[in-house]
Structure 1
């Protein structure tokens, strides 16, 4: 289920230098050369390849960072004007220089050392950049403290390149918003077909990775906000188990469903980023509480990981769209050829909450955003203040759609109310039902089309959801999902989502990687103006 559907119904930061090699982790390895890479070589390059070239002194973090800064200026600000990057880090080159110096001195922090990363603009960075959730109401909000995920990235040697645009307030302001639009950043475009939606709410993160504006990026998801942009922008997105990645320092919607997660052009790149940002944070009550350390997700990159696996496919998704049917059939055939057993099931029924998800998110949004704003450096300090600001600045803040979700959330009580507790009980039943489905059918994972093909951008009427949404049960249950390119329909990417049980990321990464290596569906965008004008 997509967020719009229910709205309408109402420490693994350090790695051994040799642990991330091209031969083990990339799907598009290039032959070794004594030549330094050109700009065209850097496009579509994997993180492992970047590290190899830096290790061979053929590439530097500064050159890589400058390349992406130039790409952003050429493609994002000018050219197709994707508007996926909302703000650049003025310290990016100096961070890159510091990482290059550390490398020269023999210090290598891990697979993200010197790698440029973009971060969604609802995640705090204690630097010169703002954190606004795309809203002009939060303009000037410079955090006093890094979010936990940002702290982990800095410790890992990543270059914080900038912040990405998003569906304003992570798509939680109106029931007819346009994905990728924010009052601060404007409308993000899909790099494959420019008049099509990038989906959201992590629109900018998905688009930037797809368009080669960064190596990898961080997004957030409550229900579909990583999976949907990954699907529609032809990249890999991992929505982790709730609690595996800390939410502290992230502007919230739901303490029950929110999580941050990685985007990459390959499963290996996304897994490398997840390995860095995962970990227990005492400031997050849903923190990872496993007795074992965070797994080395790179060890899950096994081409034979589908052998002997039972994969459940949602049969209600069949015969909805002939082009999607064709892509799904091909994907299932490829998985079977790798030794998987495909089982037709109906796992989407497990997500039915009778409207409880909408209620839960409104209660938790009010509670969470009031807590965040009260402790922030934003001028607006409450949800009530946000509503008032938007009403006062309606022409700029709400030119296309309104703030009815803000208003209905403001009317909710606190988290001790009977209505909230009843909604939470219904939400918790989704995890139980999904677990029972896994046990009954003896499944290792479930799968289905993440989305249909992207719709045309429509700021007046909002998004036009095209069915599917196989990631929904995992989002509501707090379970992990991984979305991987499944193919293209008339130049538009469509992804397949794999769902697993809580903290089954190692198994899911293996399954997704094996499928990716067999299918090789990732195609770089062509920035086509419109379908029929290729």
Structure 2
């Protein structure tokens, strides 16, 4: 008989831990699916109503049972065999499975996708089970000036670390689900030609001899967070890294002031959305363009443009006015030059460093975003309990007691392996994530012991 000590805590259980338990026969994939579905039910619309999941998969238990049988008969397909995952709702999954793919919008309810998205197909082939669609800031936070974590379908998601706090986005539900264990992981793709084995990057000694540059101009102004960041720099030194401080971008002011990114995003959104709509097998709402979706939202304002906080379509309207003209291509080229050769690459070269570091609460994400370069973030600290947050409107923005923030590592193109190794070494040394849990009401109580044999 399985002892309770053999069962992982689902708040923090890793895929590797779950696979070990499955292989040992301590529990089944059916047990895992039941447990995670129960955990979702506890906190999604009941209790703290975190609204992390838009819908669950009616086929999940059947798929889990089939994968359990396959494990017995043939062994496992991969380390993901029989592992329950949540999938962000802008990642297409087979319609016949029973879930929608809508980017959180009523405009795409009931639409039929032609196939799994590439990432979903690869995960499914590896034996993963999609137990639900994760909430997202609608249209990946692109519709307008709307609080992060809101979608017409899902309502307003909130942060599990403080009641009514901003869940951020666009992957709001994925973040919530990962934080409190609503699935083993979340799936939220440009990639190098040669796919590396990133498990080999998990080396706790990887920071020895590495030079890291501190981008002070991107660290923000939060004194509490900066103090924690400065302590982290000492930890990095203890782990063998050489810290170059400061190592600021030569073009930092120009980069922060640039609006090229907004034009590129709006144009790309309009063009890529049209390609997606054209590829759908069926659209019950008959929206065939961005203009149609803008009109749909206006006509269904009670569901989509909800007073008083969620009425904006500002970015949609701006995107509708764009075209892939000379201004677009000039902005795209300017972004790449500013983010790459004059930004990240210039800074790495100028200071002779392997990577750049900064806290997540500043502006560190902009350069890798416009460059298309990697950034890896791991837990750094939590905002202090002494902070008095403002009233939620409808959420508490940016800062609240206990909200986590991260340490970010930025590198050049295809440097993911190194960045993962640096971040892993720091993470293993500090174990910051478990130094503070979500607030009590936001932590699901269901564990595997509650469902085994049911």
TM-score by length of 1: 0.74
Partner of 2:275: 371
- CA distance in 1 between partners of 2:8 and 2:427 (Å): 23
- CA distance in 2 between partners of 1:88 and 1:325 (Å): 40
Change beyond 3 A, Cα 1:319–1:145: closer
The one of 409, 425, 432 equivalent to 1:498 is 409
- CA distance in 2 between partners of 1:55 and 1:38 (Å): 12
Partner of 1:483: 377
8 Å CA contact retained: 1:194, 1:528: no
Partner of 2:432: 521
Partner of 2:317: 407
Partner of 1:166: 136
Post-superposition shift, 1:325? 1.7
Cα-Cα RMSD? 2.0
8 Å CA contact retained: 2:219, 2:364: no
- CA distance in 2 between partners of 1:76 and 1:395 (Å): 22
TM-score by length of 2: 0.86
Partner of 1:125: 93
The one of 346, 355, 370 equivalent to 2:248 is 346
8 Å CA contact retained: 2:206, 2:425: yes
- CA distance in 2 between partners of 1:507 and 1:181 (Å): 35
The one of 138, 149, 170 equivalent to 1:201 is 170
Change beyond 3 A, Cα 1:302–1:40: closer
8 Å CA contact retained: 1:309, 1:341: yes
Structure 1 residue runs of 4+, over 6 Å off?
none
Post-superposition shift, 1:34? 5.7
Change beyond 3 A, Cα 1:90–1:38: farther
For structure 2, the residue ranges without an aligned partner over 5 or more in a row are 385-401, 443-454
Partner of 2:336: 428
For structure 1, the residue ranges without an aligned partner over 5 or more in a row are 1-32, 220-241, 245-287, 452-467
User: Are 1:101 and 2:69 an aligned pair?
Assistant: yes
Partner of 2:105: 135
User: Are 1:216 and 2:178 an aligned pair?
Assistant: no
Post-superposition shift, 1:528? 5.9
Q: Report how many residues are paired.
A: 411
Post-superposition shift, 1:43? 2.7
8 Å CA contact retained: 2:29, 2:82: yes
Partner of 2:38: 70
Partner of 2:447: none
User: Are 1:328 and 2:222 an aligned pair?
Assistant: no
Post-superposition shift, 1:437? 1.4
Partner of 2:84: 116
- CA distance in 2 between partners of 1:81 and 1:193 (Å): 12
8 Å CA contact retained: 2:137, 2:170: yes
- CA distance in 2 between partners of 1:158 and 1:74 (Å): 23
Which one has a bigger Cα radius of gyration?
A: 2
Give the 3-state SS of the residue equivalent to 2:432 in structure 1.
coil
8 Å CA contact retained: 2:47, 2:441: no
